[in-house]
Amino acid sequence: MSKPAILTVDDDREVSAAITRDLRSRYGAAYRILQARSGADALALLTALALRNQPVALIAADQRMPEMTGIEMLEQARTQTPDAKYLLLTAYADTDAAIKAINDIGLDYYLLKPWDPPEERLYPVVDDLLGDWRDAHPDYTSGLRVVGHKWSDRSHEIKTFLARNHVPYRWYDIERDAEAQRLSQLAQATAADLPLVLVPDGEALRSPSSLDVADALGLRTRAEQPLYDVCIVGGGPAGLAAAVYAASEGLSTVVVEREAPGGQASQSAAIENYLGFPRGLAGSDLTHRAVAQVSRFGAEMVLARDVIGFQTRGPVHAVLLEGSAEIEARALIVATGVSYRRLAAAGLDELIGRGVYYGASASEASQCQGDDVYIVGAANSAGQAALNMAKFAKCVVLVVRAATLEDTMSQYLVDRIKSAPNIDVRYRSEVVECRGDGHLEALTLADRITGVRDEVSASWLFVFIGASPRTDWLGPDVVRDDKGFVVTGQDLHNPAFAQRWPLHRVPFALETSVPGVFAAGDVRLDSMKRVASAVGEGAMSVYLVHRYLASI
């Protein structure tokens, strides 16, 4: 398979030579660096590459070109290179046009000229764009292979684990790909061995658990120290932010995550209202950046381990892990977030992982090419999923219990959903039954007002409803409300919770009923349930940990 291409487009000979030289010096070993001197020449070159099935990772185009501007060229380039990243080189006077292009043509980034020195102004931008492209195109970067069945819940679990941990892999469907059958035969694998995970320079893994895969890939699954200053349970935005601030301020820090970093936010196709990212950013991209920061400051990340309880042992809190392991720390931050509530529909449980899924990563949209997709939910996560699925699916049906979207979804998403030609919203409706032989094949939808039922064919159902906190492991000592959300700070004085705070001092703002145990993000009672607020609470919790440690 040929190297992916980076194309530069600029009519100015000197500028074209400069951008090509800078890109070739940094990326020439892994990418073909091509150049065009006009928009028309660039489109012709892209057509030729498309006909030869040669991938294009990035197009960097100058805005001020005669006959065809950079924005006009990039808009037309979508036909030949729908997955390429778009970088516009522009002058300050064209900033408004560049910002408008973010919405109009999906521009990924605009860069003001000149970009000297490239180490500070060009390469960091291109590194991020190419990193995103590689994450979305693992076939060009990975030797890891997964052989399985499209409708297998175990195969889906392994693919999700790899994708959310940013591990590129190649997927082979045992029913469709001759290569999958060949690999299965070579490994002498039976149906019970699927999914088969083939690790470069390692033994084939047969129907492995996420922990088995993590160990085989060298991901950290065990803590290295006997005692930490702070243990953070949960690797979503709140937990990752807490880890960055704690480690950067000199606290020995460990994060325990049972699935993969990022939480529900990592599955978002686009977070468009996060400060500082006018183009928006994918949840996986935000997670990838945050994990890199965590690692940079020296915090440990323990993956694929489920926390089943904790104990207070004098000045130390012990976090108990599944499989008899434990981690001790002087302070504990609970940032386990929430999971989607179960949908009460007949026949649904038997089809989970076989066409029925709770949440959806952005990468799953391409599997729905040409199909009808049903999404249950009316919050931002459901809206982003609908827009992402609509890029691939024949039709996306958003099933909403309420009579409107505006009360639960941000207006910018509502506007896009209503204007999308292949998204249909069914108001005052709910899914009451799922049917299928081995995988989802049909749904029954019911009107909540009239009770009229509608039978529809469907292979894909994604559920984004409600929020159920992951707090059972905390036991009776940590006060929670009747839904399981953790009570903190001044709310502990509410008579409704009837819990005695054990110390003379008042609890810190995010402190639970157990001194030294804090809660941050969606898991906390009355939290805002937004990525930015979770990040803020994660940072704030570290400030409070410092105060707690100074008081003992």
For the chain, domains (ranges, CATH) are 5-138 (3.40.50.2300), 142-208 (3.40.30.10), 227-337+469-551 (3.50.50.60), 349-463 (3.50.50.60)
Decide: 518 and 333 in contact? Cβ < 8 Å.
yes
| pLDDT tens digit sequence for 62-120 | 999 999 999 999 999 998 898 899 999 998 888 899 999 998 898 999 999 889 899 98
C-alpha pair distances (Å), 544 with each of 140, 230, 508, 516, 537: 45, 12, 7, 9, 10
Per-residue pLDDT tens for 11-31? 999 999 999 999 999 999 889
Q: How many CB atoms lie within 10 A of CB 273?
A: 14
pLDDT in tens, 126-157: 999 998 888 777 766 667 899 999 899 999 99
Question: Which residues does 29 contact at the CB level (< 8 Å), separation at least 6?
Answer: none
Residue 360 has pLDDT above 90, yes or no: no
What gap in Å lies between CA 532 and CA 427, rounded to an integer?
A: 29
CA within 13 Å, CB half, 470: 22
162-219 pLDDT, tens digit each: 988 878 888 999 998 998 998 899 889 999 999 999 987 778 999 999 999 999 988 9
For 422, the token pair is 């292949």
pTM, rounded to two decimals: 0.79
Backbone angles phi, psi at 264, to 5 degrees: -65, -30
